[in-house]
Homo-oligomer: A and B are copies of this chain.
Amino acid sequence: MQRYFIDENYQPTVHLTDENYHHIVRVMRMKNGQEIFVVFADEMAIKAEITDITEESVIVTEIEKETFQRELPIHITIASGFPKGEKLELIAQKATELGAFNFFVFPAETSVVKWDQKKQGKKVARLNKIIQEAAEQSHRQHLPRLESISPKELVNHFSDFDAVLIAYEESAKQGEQAQLVQTFQQLTAGQKLLVIFGPEGGLTPKEIENYQLAGAKLAGLGPRILRTETAPLYLLSVASFYYELSSSTAH
């Protein structure tokens, strides 16, 4: 069943307009009586029936609330230094499936790609479109958003989070294994984690020092060298395992 995200908070009767209207009426050619999922800005989700279609809006009415919890108990924001090629597309799609809460992208010191102002708007819009499609397909109850920011803004954002980690390849080489588990043990439902991933060339010692001075901690993600687009998927998968699968047994 199709899933539509809207910017308003929960209400039992909703008017869907603009892009959602276009998709329901023109693309899916849906009619009165057909059912869809509507996800609200406050992360409420309902199964709803189309009760009226006008010139400008599709009116739907709640059949039942979605009670199954699909969101990770902690909110994880993925910050990626601009990688090459189509890697951000892969990160955006797969990390959304795996429960990422939001995304930052930033020009890291070793980033080969530099986004100019003009390119940037288009690229961010395209990535947010990919995120939306992935959120629909994986039945998310929160629509993650991606924002392109400067390295300085990234550090300024640290104070919005309860913990900040740096996924650091050298940690893997040195066998750092404890930080990720320790961070998970400290964070409880509703808290916010930011994890920073370097591009292909990694983060420089200067960047790492900057982040550490601002409160971030280095965390190893196991003993194998992961590519820049694989590391966020590892992080999100293990967060799911820790908070959603093993809580009943190990914690």
B-binding residues in A (CB < 8 A): 68-70, 94, 97-99, 137-140, 173, 175, 177-178, 180-182, 185, 220-227, 230, 233-234, 237-238, 240-242, 244-246, 248-251
The majority secondary structure among interface residues of chain A is loop
Contact A241 B242, CB 8 Å, known A97-B226, A138-B226, A175-B68: yes
Closest Cβ neighbor of A227 among chain B residues? B97
**Pair B241/A241 contact, Cβ less than 8 Å:** yes
**Distance between A237 CB and nearest chain B CB, rounded to angstroms:** 4
**Pair A181/B245 contact, Cβ less than 8 Å:** yes
Number of copies: 2
- Can you list 29 A-B contacts (CB < 8 A)? A68-B223, A69-B223, A70-B223, A94-B233, A97-B227, A97-B230, A99-B224, A137-B227, A138-B224, A138-B225, A138-B226, A177-B245, A177-B248, A178-B245, A178-B248, A178-B249, A181-B249, A220-B245, A221-B240, A222-B245, A233-B233, A233-B237, A234-B237, A234-B240, A237-B237, A237-B238, A238-B238, A241-B242, A242-B246
Closest Cβ neighbor of A174 among chain B residues? B68
The residue that A224 contacts in the complex, of B98, B181, B250, with Cβ under 8 A, is B98
**Pair B181/A250 contact, Cβ less than 8 Å:** yes
The residue that A238 contacts in the complex, of B140, B245, B251, with Cβ under 8 A, is B245
Q: Measured between alpha carbons, how far is A245 from B178 in the docked complex, in Å?
A: 7
